Structures are given as structure tokens and as C-alpha cells.
């Protein structure tokens, strides 16, 4: 009988390295809104069914799917939010004097996104940080009351 000598090499994991996201996310943007909603694919809900009945998977779009954009890329979500806001603002401007009050209220409600979060320089900065740091998490700027 022949004996085989094996060398076992062990490595210690470096725990100081930030862990990359190990799950998928989707981003939802309503067409006339600047808010980006992050939905984790790890947000599972228990399946409710009666014993003895075989459950089958049913996939559906979120309710009101025609009113929002969906993407798995944060940068695209930011660009869609910006484009949707500009389209909505243009529509309010085209209404003439009748849309002035709604335009003013929209600008007040979405001030941080329109003037800080969704400008091209900040979108490019977020894109650069995401490519350089796998653990980067975007937190939109908000004015504190």
C-alpha cells in the first residue's frame, strides 16, 4: 500500500476588509418624483398557504408599475429621477400661469434632490465612489429641520 503525504495550508481571513454587498437591490423611481426607493432582494416575506395545498411561485410587477421606473443600477436610478423631475417641471411650465403654484411647491418639496443630490457632478461622484469602494452606501443629503 502506498502512503500519500499531504500538506494542509490554512489561511486566516482578514476581517478588516469591508465586505462587499452580498445581495441584490432594486431601485424604484416614480416618474414625477425625485425620491429613490431601495428594495433589497433579501426582504423575503413568509408564504401564507393552507396545509395540504401546494403553493406555486407567482411573479408580478409592483402595483402601479406604469408610474415608476425600476432598475438594479443606482446611477441609472439617479439619472431617471433627474430626467423625470425635469420632464414634470417642463410640463408645469408649459401650463403657464396656472402651473406656477404647483411648480413652486414642487421645487420646495424636492429642493435637496434638484439642487444637490441629482446634479451631474454628484451623480459622477457617487459613480466614482461606488467603483472604488465596494462597501459604499449612498445616503441622499437632506436638510435637517
Residue range 15-47, pLDDT digits in tens: 444 444 445 778 889 888 899 988 876 655 555
Residue-range definition of the domain harbouring residue 105: 25-132
* Domains held by the chain: number: 1
d(CA 64, CA 139): 26
Residue 66: predicted pLDDT: 75
Inside any domain, residue 10: no
Residue 50: predicted pLDDT: 55
User: Distance of alpha carbon 22 from its chain centroid, rounded?
Assistant: 15
Inside any domain, residue 12: no
d(CA 9, CA 117): 49
| Spans of the chain, pLDDT less than 50 | 9-11, 13-22
Which residues are 26's β-sheet partners? 39
* This prediction's pTM: 0.69
Inside any domain, residue 11: no
Amino acid at each position: 500500500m502506498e502512503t500519500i503525504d499531504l500538506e494542509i495550508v490554512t489561511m486566516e481571513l482578514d476581517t478588516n476588509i469591508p465586505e462587499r454587498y452580498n445581495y441584490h437591490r432594486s431601485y424604484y423611481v416614480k416618474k414625477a418624483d425625485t425620491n429613490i426607493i431601495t428594495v433589497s432582494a433579501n426582504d423575503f416575506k413568509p408564504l401564507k398557504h393552507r396545509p395540504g395545498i401546494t403553493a406555486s411561485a407567482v411573479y408580478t410587477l409592483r402595483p402601479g408599475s406604469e408610474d415608476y421606473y425600476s432598475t438594479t443600477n443606482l446611477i441609472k436610478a439617479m439619472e431617471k429621477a433627474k430626467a423625470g423631475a425635469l420632464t414634470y417641471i417642463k410640463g408645469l411650465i408649459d401650463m403657464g400661469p396656472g402651473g406656477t403654484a404647483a411648480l413652486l411647491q414642487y421645487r420646495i418639496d424636492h429642493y435637496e434632490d434638484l439642487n444637490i443630490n441629482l446634479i451631474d457632478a454628484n451623480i459622477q461622484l457617487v459613480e466614482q465612489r461606488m467603483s472604488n469602494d465596494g462597501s459604499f452606501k449612498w445616503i441622499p443629503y437632506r436638510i435637517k429641520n
